[in-house]
Structure 1
């Protein structure tokens, strides 16, 4: 028979036949179930994949499918604040529990681990502490950078890590930096962190940010004008947590003021989040946007070349510069290696003609126009 205990009610249960005396053992109880301490909202389905996190997410899926029986052990997920480290780590745990209910999964923050260890150390129960953690099939430790300078906790973690790894159990660690940059952590621990895979989470790009917002809106049954979604995605680029926070703030203001969500409300609400409310677009800004969009080196845009992709990128840039800046045709030409105003006129006409005849070209120009408009807001 099984009995459920929460880690909040007691620090840990132990198997009855363990030589260490366990005050929680109930006669006849073979095994106690351990509360995995997982948040059920953290799932793979709600973790949007993009270039910023593809390796980490796919490695996480592999680990969830075959915990302990893969080459990513430990899996170290690292990255800045609010990029989804905890979400991904707990998604692995939730998936393991879904597909392997009998697996013992435990999520613990490094701070809680250290505090538990200190409590057991004061009570001369370090062996009990170690033996408990050796029961875990999938151990997830969040924010391992906080082990820095906690020497005795590191010694215990080293012992637990070795036992679990040698027993074919899975370890998942998160950190705000890669193992090689963790200071104050023993080299022998760092070397073990490097045994598996270290995968980073980066800041999501514009398209991924839009997808994150749209997925959250869909999950919460919300609707919002596309231009507002784009405005939020363009202006909040630091991390996912801030992105979702901005969306929640906007919804709260809309509800409290009984006002429809539109671009004006978004601008008003997002003043606390947004870099600046109104920016003047320069030719240089447009040049950089177009170069990034078409993956064209900036210097090539200014050179005399007949390569089609370079010529088209230059023509589109001139077209956008004329539409979105107050510069004269002569000034625009000067920003492209000293070309004259007739070249700018010809480029603008060529872009208009191509937009009428080439669907893909038209889509590219319209998307760039939107990007420039968003940058100007």
Structure 2
């Protein structure tokens, strides 16, 4: 068995594997013959070795056996470098042309140029590798609304240019932060297929750093994370209280930003509100563009439910979607969980998804929230008193502005503060469902644009809460 066997294997793999993966993981390997039935491949460091073992060893064995006239071969991977006689052999013209053409120097080659790790080093327990992107977390599957529109626009911009670096997305759990960040990753992989895009939770970064220290490969760890083109790191709040991890992330962050490599982070709060983080790190985190995702409005939640149901080939009625959104409105994950329960129950029980069936199927999920804090009659009377109208005028067909605006205000408050569906609210005001929807949108648009309307709305909510 000679060197040409390995060169032929490389040629096959180069046609099968994406250029970035080939140059990063396969090209740094060198073959060392032990016997005709036994092959040793040398990797320049532990990181490359573990990655090849996990993802490429089966194909290597299959291909080498095939090229060896179908004689079964045993493959052994080790960290090490070839003997000088072997190292002196020039690379093939194809290798040199491929490296020049792709303008890529693999991570393994970079490390090999800087240091020759000893072959007797203890093997790390795990490889440093990115977590996979969720295939459902794309821009196409994200429902944008007023509560997340800025974050949505910022994420789309980040997928096109690096004008705002870093991008820091914060908000409560289950509101779409990770979805937006991974959507950037998906789009970048399409538009920049050669880029090294890494996504991982902060806890993975911390865990990998600790294990790198334990296994004396911290320089490999640093080189890897500081050489990525785009770093997507989730839940940065988990760095709190971890001084050594903060120090490493601080320097990694600075290296990436100074190198014009993109950094996108998510967190459950704004940078300045992060307790347990050094001030200099807080300052760095907030040095780019900081955007928030808030709890979506009810109409956005309805859209989310209906779109998710459509993926399962189910048409969810407005009445059912509004019922679920009225009761589960603080967390999109819980909202999707309720939808999954409903769809599964309907399928298993061979039932049509009606409002009554939804109440039955989701009764235990809705139980903590089933008792309304307010009732429609109370809201109607409070609004009438506030605007010095009679209840009869508020519910009448009269269309004078002094009556229409308070009526729209009352309808909007009923939608925000009660569990009633749009249809039920409409009945209480002698209006149809479309009028209720129009009133709600009108008031919430004015709340954002007209200070007097905003004050009236907030005062009424305060009075009702008191």
What TM-score, normalized to structure 1?
Answer: 0.73
Q: Secondary structure at the match of 2:295?
A: coil
Could you tell me which of 94, 101, 105 is aligned with 2:186?
94
Looking at structure 1, the residues matched to 291 and 301 of structure 2 have their Cα atoms a distance apart, in angstroms, of 20
**2:167, 2:352 → 1: CA distance?**
45
**Structure 1 stretches lacking a partner, 5+ long:** 25-33, 292-297, 321-350, 356-360, 370-377
Residue 159 of structure 1 deviates from its aligned partner by 1.0
Residue of structure 2 aligned with 1:62, choices 124, 141, 157:
157
Deviations for 1:159-180, whole angstroms, at most 9, x for unmatched residues? 1111110110100011011101
Which of 128, 134, 139 is 2:226 aligned to?
134
**d(CA) in 2 for partners of 1:178 and 1:368?**
34
Within 2, Cα distance between the matches of 1:211 and 1:319? 20
- The answer on 1:153 being equivalent to 2:218 is no
Which residue of the other structure, out of 200, 211, 233, is the alignment partner of 1:119?
A: 211
Matches within 5 A, 1:201-350: 201-274=293-366, 275-277=368-370, 279=372, 281-286=375-380, 301-302=387-388, 308-314=400-406
Q: Distance in 2 between matches of 1:362 and 1:42?
A: 33
Number of aligned pairs?
312
Query: Counterparts of 2:409 and 2:231 in 1: how far apart (Å)?
Result: 52
C-alpha distance in 1, partners of 2:410/2:133? 53
Task: Please say if residues 143 and 300 of structure 2, whose CA atoms lie closer than 8 Å, have aligned partners that are also in contact.
Answer: yes
Rg bigger for which structure?
2
Show structure 2 runs of 5+ residues with no match.
Answer: 1-13, 26-46, 53-105, 120-128, 391-398, 413-428, 441-466
SS of 1:16's partner is: helix
TM-score, with structure 2 as normaliser: 0.60
**Per-residue deviation, 1:154:** 0.8
Question: Which of 48, 51, 60 is matched with 2:146 structurally?
Answer: 51
- 1:128 is displaced (CA, Å) by 1.1
Post-superposition offset of 1:309: 3.3
Please report the RMSD computed on the Cα atoms of aligned residues, expressed in angstroms. 3.4
Matching of residue 16 in structure 1 with residue 102 in structure 2: no
Distance 1:299 1:51 in 2: 31
Q: 1:120 to 1:367 in 2, by over 3 A?
A: same
Match of 1:340 in 2: none
- Match of residue 291 from structure 2: 199
Q: Distance in 1 between matches of 2:118 and 2:342?
A: 51
- CA displacement, residues 234-254 of structure 1 (integer Å, 9 cap, x when unaligned): 221111111111110001111
1:179 aligns with 2:274: no
The correspondence for 2:176, drawn from 63, 84, 88, is 84
Q: Deviations over 1:266-325 (max 9, x none)?
A: 11222233244464724333468xx7xxxxxx9852379xx94332234578999xxxxx
Q: Verify the 8 A CA contact 2:342 2:361 in the aligned structure 1.
A: yes
CA distance in 2, matches of 1:316, 1:155: 54
Report whether the alignment pairs 1:364 with 2:457: no
CA distance in 2, matches of 1:8, 1:174: 29
The answer (yes or no) to whether the contact 1:144–1:173 under 8 Å persists in 2 is yes
CA positional deviation for 1:64? 0.5
| Distance (Å, rounded) in 2 between the aligned partners of 1:315 and 1:197 | 40
Matching of residue 74 in structure 1 with residue 166 in structure 2: yes
